[in-house]
């Protein structure tokens, strides 16, 4: 489950009979991807598998992360047309591409990236770096609903775009860039985690874990304990040159909170 500077896990959850998520980790390429497939048995997993493979091929060929994701979108559409997949299948995606001290995170849909760091002088914080491409996010940004109403909204799982959408020839891929700081962790996850485990609970788990392996395992277990209604995928990547083991002396007596 662990790598040199990352840990990962994917779990079918408690209510599904197949796992439509796919994860990809390549430390040498500096690429980590979580894709959440949609379309039912033998289709969603096809879409997510195509997504992670085409993105990794694109990065290996020197494409930008946005171009690689759009290439994956077209590949999912092609697979639906030629019968290697199924009509209507699709996938969300969140991808981290790290080069030296800089990184890019790109996403489509509601798979998320979070930054856990001690950059605040008062303690550790958890910051959501991505903004969901979802109906409730659109309602919130329009001022129609409040932040408190988002989690309980009946249409919270409706996304506004995904790879494989027949209506979109080209996706609106959002990208954020950043610089690594010592002790930073970046968490990538499918909504099987973020829909069931609160930001505060994620923050507390990361704060209490002594390694990324233990953090990933605890996050998956928390999602299962909270119902495990969906597939759960988690990747944690540490800043270049730092260990996946937390320096516990830095965390003694300090708290963690979502931003």
pLDDT digits (tens, 9 = 90+) for 215-258: 999 999 999 999 999 999 999 999 988 766 665 444 444 556 77
Residue with tokens 């030629």: 82
Average pLDDT, the chain: 88
CB-based burial, 63-77: b 16+ in 10 Å, e otherwise: bebbebbbbbbebbb
**Confidence band for 120, pLDDT divided at 50, 70 and 90:** low
Q: How far is CA 119 from CA 98, 177, 183, 197, in A?
A: 19, 17, 9, 23
Task: Confirm if 237 and 98 have CB atoms less than 8 A apart.
Answer: yes
Q: What is the CATH number of the domain that holds 243?
A: 3.60.40.10
Q: What confidence score (pLDDT) does residue 197 get? A: 97
Nearest in space to 127 (alpha carbons), one of 112, 146, 139, 140: 112
Distance (Å, whole) CA 51 – CA 47: 6
Between 38 and 146, where is the model more confident?
A: 38
Question: Is 187 part of any domain?
Answer: yes
DSSP assigned state of 36: E
Question: Is 194 part of any domain?
Answer: yes
Residue 157: domain span = 6-258
Question: Is 1 part of any domain?
Answer: no
**Confidence band for 123, pLDDT divided at 50, 70 and 90:** confident
Question: Is 96 part of any domain?
Answer: yes
Q: How far is CA 46 from CA 135, 164, 192, in A?
A: 25, 11, 18
- When divided into structural domains, the chain yields a total of 1
Residue 102: CB partners within 8 Å, gap ≥ 6?
A: 177, 178, 179, 180
Question: Is 223 part of any domain?
Answer: yes
């Amino acid at each position: 489950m662990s790598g040199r500077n990352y840990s990962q896990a994917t779990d079918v959850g408690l209510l599904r009979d197949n796992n439509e998520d796919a994860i990809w980790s390549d430390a040498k390429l500096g690429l980590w991807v979580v894709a959440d497939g949609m379309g039912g048995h033998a289709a969603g997993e096809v879409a997510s598998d195509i997504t992670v493979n085409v993105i990794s091929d694109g990065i290996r060929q020197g494409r930008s992360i946005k171009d690689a994701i759009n290439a994956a979108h077209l590949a999912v559409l092609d697979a639906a047309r030629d019968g290697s997949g199924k009509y209507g299948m699709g996938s969300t995606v969140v991808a981290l591409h790290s080069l030296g001290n800089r990184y890019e995170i790109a996403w489509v849909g509601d798979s998320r990236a979070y930054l856990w760091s001690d950059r605040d002088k008062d303690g550790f914080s958890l910051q959501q770096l991505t903004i969901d491409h979802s109906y409730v996010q659109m309602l919130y940004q329009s001022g129609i609903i409040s932040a408190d109403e988002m989690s309980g909204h009946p249409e919270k799982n409706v996304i506004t775009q995904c790879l494989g959408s027949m209506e979109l020839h080209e996706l609106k891929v959002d990208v954020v860039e950043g610089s690594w700081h010592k002790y930073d962790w970046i968490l990538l996850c499918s909504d099987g985690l973020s829909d069931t485990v609160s930001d505060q609970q994620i923050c507390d788990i990361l704060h209490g874990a002594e390694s990324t392996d233990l953090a990933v395992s605890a996050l998956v277990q928390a999602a299962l304990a909270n119902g495990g209604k969906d597939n759960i995928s988690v990747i944690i990547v540490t800043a270049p040159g730092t260990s996946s083991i937390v320096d516990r002396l830095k965390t003694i007596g300090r708290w963690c909170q979502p931003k």
